[in-house]
Structure 1
Amino acid sequence: MPAPSPRFDPHDLEQAMDAFAATAPALPLAVAFSGGADSTALLLACAQRWPGQIEAWHVHHGLQAAADDFERHCAALCVRLHVPLRVRRIDARHAPGQSPEEVARTRRYEAFDALALDGQARAAIKTVVIAQHADDQVETILLALSRGAGLPGIAAMPARWRRGDVDYARPLLGVPGPAIRAWLRARGEGWIEDPSNADARLTRNRIRARLLPVLDEVLPAFRATFARSAAHAAQAQDILAEVAAQDLAACGVPPRLAALRALGAARRANVLRHWLRTAHGQTPSSAQLAALQAQIEACRTRGHGIELKLGQGHVRREGDVLRWAPGVPGRA
C-alpha cells in the first residue's frame, strides 16, 4: 500500500478521540473489533483512554477461509492489551436476491444484541463503538446517490444512535482512512487486510479503489464537504419525521383517506412513508408510492377500491381508511 499523503495527519485520530471522550460516553465500553486497520486503531485508542473499562467484540462471519485467522489475530492483540475478547459466530450467508452486505450487516447487529444480553450477568456494556471513518461515510453517500436515495440515504451513517438499551457511536467518522493507517504506522502497529476488500465485484470496493483517488485529486476537501451535506440531510430528515408524526396523528392509524387527500402531494408522500415504516416496517419504492398517491387522489366515491402491491404485502381500501396487509393482493 502506498505511503499516505503528508496532508493526512495522524493527529486527526487523537483529536477525534478527544472530542468523543468529551461527550463522556457511558462505561464500560465495547469496541467492535474485526482486526482490520480501523478497528485496531479504535481498540488501541480506547484501551489507552479507558484502561480496565474496555472489551472487544469480534463477529466471526463464517464467510471466508481466513475467518479463523482473523479471530486468532484479534485474540493475540487483546491478550497483549489485557482487553477481554468476546467472540460471536454467525451465519452471514445471503439468499439469492439478497444484498450480501445488507445480510452481513443485519446479522452483525443481531450478534451485538446477543453479546449485550450475554453481558447482563456481569457489568453490562453501556456503549459500543464502531470504527467506520470518513472514507466509509463518503462511500455510503455515493452508493445512496447511485440508487436515487432520498434524505435518509444521503444522511448516511449517524455518529451516534441507540439500539435497545445500548448507546452506539462512531468516534472516527470524521477521520480519513489514510490518517488512521498513518497513526498505526507511527506506533509500529500492524493489522490484517480482509481479502474481500479487494473484490472488484463489490461496488463499494470499486468506489474506494477508483473513485476516491480521483475525488482526492480534484476535490481535496471532499470528505469534509460530503460530511456537511450528510449532516444537513440528517437535520432535514429529522424535521420531516416530526412533521410526518404530527400528520399521522391527525390522519389516524390506519390513516383516513379524506385526511390524506387534504394534504399536499409531498406531505402526503411523507406521511405515507412514515406510516408504512413505523407501523409495518415497509419501505415503498418510488413507483409504488406514486401509484398509491394516484389512487388516493382518485378515490372519491364509495365504490372506488384500492389494492396495490407494496413492499412485502399490499395496501387496500377498507371503508374510509387505508390498510396494509402482508401477502399478495387479491389472495386470502
Structure 2
Amino acid sequence: MTQSLDAAVRAFEPALPLGVAFSGGADSTALLMACAIKWPGQVVALHVNHGLQAAATDFEAHSVDLCTRMNVPLRVLRVDAKHAPGQSPEDAARIARYKAFSALALVDSAQIAIKSIAIAQHADDQVETLLLALSRGAGLRGLSAMPAQWVRDGLDFYRPLLRVSAAHIREWLAERAIPFVEDPTNTDQRFTRNRIRAQLLPALDAVFPTWRDTFTRSAAHAAQAQGLLDDMAIADLQLVCRSEDGLPTIKGLQTLAKARQGNVLRYWFAKAYGVIPSAAQLAELQHQIAACVTRGHRIHLKVAQGFVERRGGGLAWRGPLEQDPPAV
C-alpha cells in the first residue's frame, strides 16, 4: 500500500546526523522539511549545483533562501556534470551527484559529520524505473528498480519515500504553504521518463487504479529473488575462483549449469569491475567458455567498454584504458 509522507518519515530511522539531498524541487523539499521537523538540529540539506541549465543558479539561490528561513543548515557544491563521448547525460549527472554527496558528507571539525543521506525519489519514480527496465528487457536486477537502502563510500543511503505518491507529496507541501521550484526539464518530452510521466501514468491511473501498489510490490519481489541469486553467486565464486588472484577459472565455470554460470558471471562483472554484460555478450562468453578445452584456446570478447579475456586458466576483464597484460 502507498503511504502518507508523514507515515513514511515516522518509519524512517537512519543513523544521525542525516543529510538530505535537496534540489529545491517539490519532492526533496517535502523530505527535507519532514525530516527537519522530526529531528531538529540533526538534519543538513545537501545541494548539488550541476550547472547543466540556466536555472541552476536560481535553484541554488532558492535553496539558500528556504534553508535560511527554515533554520536548516545547507551545504552546496558546484560540480562539472558534463558527459563524456558515448556517455548519457543522465549517467554523467548521477555519477557527479553521488561524488558530490560523499564530498559534502566529509567535513572539518567545525561541522556536523553526516552518517546517513536520504534521497526523495518516490513511488512514481519507482514505477518509471520499473517500466524503463521492462522496455529494455531487463532481468531481475533491473526489475528490482531502485533499492530503498544501500551503502556507498562508507555512507548509508536511503529512499524513504518509495511508497509515497508524487501527488500526495505536493498536497503535503500545499497544506503547509511550503514553496518549491519547478525544474523545466521535467516537462521536456524528449526524455523518456517525462513521456512515461505525461502519457503512460495517466493511462495506468485509468485502467489500473492501484498500479503504484502492485508495481512496487512486483519490484520488491524481484529484489528479493535477486538477493537469493546474489547469495548463490557469492557461494559459486568461492568454488570457481583461484585463491592467488581471485579470478574465476574456466574449468570451475565449466562445472556449473548454464543458468548458474551466467548468474555468477554477471555478479563477478558487477562486483569486480562495475560493468554489466549485455545478453548477447554473456551468451557469446558462455559459448567460448564451453569451447575452451585446450591451452591454446584464446578468449578476447567485448564486454561493456572493455574486454574479457583468458589469462592462463582464468578470466579477467580489461578496461578501455588499461595496457595489454603480459602474455601468460
**Into which bin does the TM-score normalised by the smaller protein fall?**
over 0.9
- For the 8 Å contact 2:46–2:75, the answer to whether it is kept is yes
Using the alignment, how far apart are the partners of 1:326 and 1:166 within structure 2? 27
- 1:256 maps to which of 229, 244, 249: 249
CA distance in 2, matches of 1:327, 1:49: 48
TM-score by length of 1: 0.92
Does residue 233 of structure 1 match 2:222?
A: yes
What residue in structure 1 maps to residue 306 of structure 2?
313
**How many residues end up aligned between the 2 structures?**
321
Q: Is the 2:106–2:114 Cα contact (8 Å) retained in structure 1?
A: no
Please say which of residues 231-240 and 311-320 is displaced more in the overlay: 311-320
The answer to which of 253-262 and 134-143 deviates more is: 253-262
What amino acid maps onto 1:280 in structure 2?
Y
1:127 and 1:323 mapped to 2: Cα distance? 35
Distance in 2 between the 1:105 and 1:82 partners?
Answer: 28
SS of the residue 2:106 aligns to: helix
1:219-260, Cα deviation, whole Å (9 max, x unpaired) = 111111111111111111111111111111100131121211
Which residue of 2 is the match for residue 185 of structure 1?
A: 174
User: Which ranges of structure 1 fall in alignment gaps of 5 or more residues?
Assistant: 1-8
Helix, strand or coil for the counterpart of 1:210? helix
- Alignment CA distance shift 1:87-1:152 (3 Å): same
Q: Give the superposition deviation at 1:118.
A: 2.5
How far does residue 315 in structure 1 lie from its aligned partner after superposition?
Answer: 2.1
Residues 307 and 329 of structure 1 are in contact (CA less than 8 Å); yes or no, is this contact kept in structure 2? no
Q: 1:97 to 1:328 in 2, by over 3 A?
A: closer
RMSD, aligned CA: 2.0
Aligned residue for 1:280?
A: 273
Matched residues in 2 for 1:251 and 1:13: separation?
A: 47
CA contact (8 A) 1:141 1:153 kept: yes
Deviation larger for 84-93 or 276-285: 276-285
Please name the residue that 1:17 is paired with.
9
Residue 72 of structure 1 corresponds to: 61
Cα deviations by residue, 1:86-143 (Å, 9 ceiling, x for unpaired): 1000111113321111111110000001101135653211111111100000001111
Q: Tell me, what secondary structure is at the counterpart of 2:138? A: coil
Kindly provide the amino acid, as one letter, of the partner of residue 167 in structure 1.
D
Match of 1:137 among 123, 126, 129: 126
* Inter-partner Cα distance in structure 1 for 2:61 and 2:319: 44
Match of 1:269 in 2: 262
Counterpart Cα distance in 1 of 2:294 and 2:321: 25
TM-superposition CA deviations, 1:241-293 (whole Å, max 9, x none):
11111111100131121211110000001111122222222211111111011
Distance 2:92 2:311 in 1: 35
With over 3 angstroms needed to count, the CA separation of the structure-2 counterparts of 1:206 and 1:235, relative to structure 1, is same
Cα distance 1:190–1:123, how it changes in 2: closer, same or farther (>3 A)?
Answer: closer
Q: What is the CA deviation profile of residues 196-215 of structure 1, one whole-angstrom value per residue up to 9, with x for unaligned ones? A: 10111000000001100110
What is the TM-score when the length of structure 2 is the normalising length? 0.93
**Is the Cα–Cα contact under 8 Å of residues 137 and 157 in structure 1 kept in the other structure?**
yes
Identity of aligned residues (%): 59
Query: How has the CA–CA distance of structure 1 residues 128 and 330 changed in structure 2, closer, same or farther, with 3 Å as cutoff?
Result: closer
C-alpha deviation, 1:327, in angstroms: 4.1
Is 1:289 the counterpart of 2:285? The answer is no
Q: Distance in 2 between matches of 1:164 and 1:120?
A: 20
Amino acid corresponding to residue 16 of structure 1 in structure 2: A
CA distance in 2, matches of 1:131, 1:107: 17
Moved over 6 A (4+): 328-332
Pair 1:26–1:328, CA change in 2 (3 A): closer
* Separation (CA, whole Å) in 1 of partners of 2:95 and 2:321: 26
Q: Is 1:46 the counterpart of 2:46 in the alignment? A: no
Against the structure 1 CA distance between its residues 272 and 68, is the aligned structure 2 distance closer, same or farther, given a 3 Å change threshold? same
Corresponding residue SS for 1:52: coil
Q: CA separation in 2, counterparts of 1:256 and 1:331?
A: 20
Unaligned runs of 5+ in 2: none
CA distance in 2, matches of 1:325, 1:55: 40
Indicate yes or no: 2:148 matched with 1:155.
Answer: no
> Is contact 1:254–1:321 with CA below 8 Å preserved after alignment?
yes
1:78-89 paired onto structure 2 within 5 Å: 78-89=67-78
- Whether the 8 Å CA contact 1:314–1:328 is kept in 2: the answer is no
